[in-house]
Chain A
Amino acid sequence: MEKSVIGATFDAPAVDRYPAPNAGTQRWIAALGLIALAVVLPFVVSKYHVFELTMVMIYAIAVLGLNILAGYNGQISLGHGGFFAAGAYTAAILMHRYGVPYWATLPPAALICFALGVLFGLPALRFEGPYLALVTLALALATPQLLKYFDNWTGGQQGINLTKPLPPHWLVIDRDRWLYLIVLAALLLAMRIAANLLHGRTGRALVAIRDHPIAAAALGIDTARYKTLAFGTSTLFMGVAGALAAIVIGYVSPEGYNLFLSLSFLVGSAVGGIATIGGAIIGGLFIEFVPNLANDISDAAPWAIYGLAMLLFMYTMPQGVVGSLGPWITRSMRQIRAQRAAFAGGDEEHDGKGRTS
């Protein structure tokens, strides 16, 4: 904490750098291309892979939520699995008990988790660093216990079984691909909202609070308000992700929301890119696929391999994949553009000379 100086802000890849004039259109084209690819993807891979990719996107929403808090605002939470669980159980209870259609469970899950996050964030204002880590760790450990304790609502140990929703009958696709598309839409919306929130005044305020809380307060940033806002927004994302997970998996149970889940989100957020939005997808991929890969490499000690992978990523890319590679890519893109401009400029100069002679 004490080591960080105000200058650190310039190194952090948090705030959008001023892009080159026509970079905006290029970026839009690239984004549209990626979205088109993501829409086509489920129709070319097997059903099981569709499910896996759906989970990747759900984890990405969750990682994005945690990144708003931990990456941008520097509040490290070890307990966000608790809010993920709250979202999942909100959806499950609404669907199972009250017969609410699956899509209508998302707004209540988001609202409830936002409220829970703000309520939790208020006492958390008093805590920093390791103290916040302890409080959130307690939340992560309490989650399965609380879920088991209130068993007339949560179904206790058995959990709740849900029927997976069907696609509208005018659409001729199966249910897994339909859910994939819904989750994709949710992810895109989440990324758009996060970008609007973070690439501006609010994002700068959050980063300033992370890098130097005292200086931020001295500049007139209402630190308590922004920290609570960051907490609430991040848990809102968690709630939506949790609700989607409940719908897609069709099952919720206390043991699924343990400490390990919370830690996975944190790992995903660090590996993907601290304080980046695109990094969330890398984080989702890491959470979904690396444990399986580790199992393939060594079924005797898979978690040792998983741990080694975490260490390796952190050593080679301490800012996360997107946080470390992103600036490099931007730099090389800029170089290429500059070279192109130089070529074009050279041609014009040549032409100009030709005319004068």
Chain B
Amino acid sequence: MHELLQQIFSGLVAGAVYASLALALVMIYRATDLVNFAQGEMAMFSTYIAWTLVNAGLPFWGAFIITLLVSFLGGMAIERVVIRPIENAPVLAAVVVTIGLLLIFNSLAGWIYTYTVKDFPSPFPDRPLFGALTTTRDLGVIGVTLVMLALLFAFFRFTKTGLAMRAAAQNPDSARLCGIRVKRLLAIGWGLAAAIGAIAGILVAPILFLDPNMMSGVLVYAFAGALLGGIASPLGAVVGGLIVGVTENLVGTYLIASQLKLTVAFALIILVLVLRPNGLFGTAIVRRV
């Protein structure tokens, strides 16, 4: 029983990271109908920025804030420079462009920072809690995710920009007629997604260690989490991410050797999706034709 709880807890920690990245995917999907395959590599790159700042002698939380700001601006710039030109291109072209971005970020990180694995400091002390069930560091990871979720909820519920973003995502044409600058908000959406991704990267880096391929596995699980929750639902993304984290961990511990862990975890997720094609929290899209 103790071991099971321990596994569930460590699954929740991984799940919190998947949830953060899944949130970033959902943000972009809602705004642009696009799955951003480069999200993980963008997060990885942000984490390198944080690593550089910390190594330059900045206090951790100072580096954290600066990284978020830089990522936000970087995300906006990517939307403006890379994504907007292909707004009306076929879906396949858009997919290829985000895959191209993925390759570019991965390769650039390898070029600038080399492929050697780097230690990344954790802001939380590593002490066992509740009779070694979990650690303060793990709780810190989950805590940061929850705080971020609460802030995002408040942003979309109570601020003018947040409401405008929801309007722009739901019905761009009507939103524009109401005087909302839809394109500006798309850019902000990308910026926010990049910043959220940066948080995911910084959270996972002390656990996985920092290298250019750190986020590729995380992205896949985050993607699964986002879809499991329903790709258009931020709350769903978080719940989906947590479920994926726990499932992955339990499958790896109890069901099958880690060789096929990913395959089995995915088979389970797909099974759920076959039964609920719009995800657990998604609603069927009704289209007027």
Contact = CB atoms under 8 A, between A and B. Distances in A.
A binds B: yes
Contact of B92 (A2, A212, A214, A269): A269
B224 A134 contact: yes
B54 interface: no
Nearest to A215: B289
A208 interface: no
A314 B86 contact: yes
Contacts of A263: 99
Contact of B95 (A76, A215, A307): A76
Q: Which of A1, A130, A214 is the most central at the interface, judged by chain B CB atoms within 10 Å of its CB?
A: A130
Contacts of B116: none
B220 interface: yes
A274 B35 contact: no
A307 B101 contact: yes
B220 A311 contact: no
Contacts of A148: 259
A146 interface: yes
A318 interface: yes
B107 interface: yes
A74 B91 contact: yes
A146 B107 contact: no
B90 A307 contact: no
A309 to B, nearest CB: 8
B93 interface: yes
Interface in B76-115: 82, 85-86, 88-93, 95-97, 99-104, 106-108, 110-111
Please classify how large the interface on chain A is, using the bins under 10, 10 to 19, 20 to 34, 35 or more.
35 or more
B104 A270 contact: no
Q: Which of B33, B96, B102, B270 is the most central at the interface, judged by chain A CB atoms within 10 Å of its CB?
A: B96
A145 B86 contact: no
A14 B99 CA distance: 24
User: What is the predominant secondary structure among interface residues of chain A facing chain B?
Assistant: helix
Interface residues of B, number: 44
Contacts of A212: 289
A34 interface: no
Given A131-B277, A145-B262, A267-B96, 9 more contacts: A141-B263, A263-B99, A270-B95, A304-B103, A304-B107, A307-B102, A307-B104, A311-B104, A314-B89
Interface of A: 1-3, 70-71, 74, 76, 123, 126-127, 129-131, 133-135, 137-138, 141-142, 145-146, 148-149, 212, 214-215, 263, 266-267, 269-271, 274, 300-311, 314-315, 318-320
16 contacts: A76-B95, A130-B227, A130-B231, A133-B95, A138-B263, A146-B263, A215-B289, A274-B92, A305-B107, A307-B99, A307-B100, A307-B107, A309-B100, A310-B100, A311-B101, A311-B104
Interface of B: 29, 33, 35, 82, 85-86, 88-93, 95-97, 99-104, 106-108, 110-111, 220, 223-224, 227, 231, 259-260, 262-263, 266-267, 269-270, 273-274, 277, 287, 289
List 8 tightest A-B contacts by C-beta distance, closest first: A307-B103, A310-B100, A318-B89, A304-B107, A303-B107, A138-B266, A307-B104, A301-B111
